[in-house]
Amino acid sequence: MPKHSRRFLSILDKLDKNLLYSPDEALQFLKYHSNTNFIETVEAHIALGLDPKYADQQLRSTIILPKGLGKSIKIVVITQDNKFSEALDSGADIVGSDDVIDDILNGNLNFDKLIATPDMMLNIAKLGRILGPRGLMPSPKSGTVTTDVRNAISEFKAGKLEYKVDRTGIVHVPIGKLNFEINDLVYNLKTLQESIDKNRPSGSKGKYWKSLYLSSTMGPGIPVNIALLRDSKLV
């Protein structure tokens, strides 16, 4: 069991262990008890009735959070030189070809998203052992291998992210910063819920959503009433 700080335990002690909080109440609790010297990220942790070792029970998709993530996304684009100008004009932070691949091989991983055009994927294959464990390897499924570089950059800068179920059947997704308005965080959470429901795998049987917890970077997980989230409307 990991050891928790006195601050963390004192916050945990204020939680009602017998209550499933509404999304608003959970977020208000996290906001009220946050006393860190930085702005914490809010994360949703969703346990689903899935066993991802079966191909028809895997969940992986992308979503654009309507209220954004509250952070600046640093994007690297690896492409042929005829697309350099387009990528830079679209807001890419670093654009290159084999020179960028060499930089990454030398340990330069100071970026949040790597976008590549299909014609560079053979060259990028050697980066798999470095990028794979960090979730940074480009793939068509996540929208990071594409010929439409301009649109991909625009979407990721706007807050597009990929989510997938881990090997224990849980999805972990950031939904914004703790200094967001509560309505904006709920809006992002509701959008995520609808996306997860829409992309329910064909092999999913029985109860799909088992539990939902909201937490901040340094705060405890707050159990949330899934029915109240489902009943809420996007406005």
Q: What is the CATH number of the domain that holds 123?
A: 3.40.50.790
Question: What CATH number corresponds to the domain at position 172?
Answer: 3.30.190.20
Report how far residue 23's alpha carbon sits from residue 182's, in angstroms, rounded to the nearest whole number.
Answer: 9
63 and 164 in a single domain? The answer is yes
Q: Is residue 61 part of a domain?
A: yes
Among 123, 157, 191, which residue terminates a domain? 157
**153 in the same domain as 79:** yes
pLDDT mean over 182-191: 96
Domain end marker among 157, 176, 202: 157
CB-CB neighbours of 103 under 10 Å: 15
Please report which confidence band the pLDDT of residue 101 belongs to, taking 50, 70 and 90 as the band edges: very high
Phi/psi-derived region of residue 205, left when phi > 0, alpha when psi is between -120 and 50, beta in every other case: beta
Say if 5 falls within a structural domain.
no
How many domains is the chain partitioned into structurally? 2
Is 143 found in the same domain as 178? no
Long-range contact set of residues 208-213: C-beta below 8 Å, sequence gap at least 24: 208/48, 208/49, 209/46, 209/47, 209/48, 209/49, 210/47, 210/48, 210/49, 210/169, 211/46, 211/47, 212/44, 212/45, 212/46, 212/47, 213/44, 213/45, 213/46
Report which of 235, 216, 233, 221 is spatially closest to residue 21, judged by C-alpha positions. Answer: 221
**Distance separating alpha carbons of residues 115 and 160, to the nearest angstrom:** 13
Average pLDDT over residues 137-158: 92
Q: Round to whole Å and give the CA distance between 91 and 110.
A: 16
In a domain, 4, yes or no: no
Residue after which a domain boundary falls, among 118, 142, 157: 157
Binned at pLDDT 50, 70 and 90, residue 196 comes out as very high
**pLDDT tens digits for 12-48?**
556 667 789 899 999 999 998 888 889 999 999 999 9
Q: Could you list the residue range(s) of the whole structural domain that residue 108 is in? A: 75-157
Query: What pTM, to 2 d.p., does this model score?
Result: 0.80
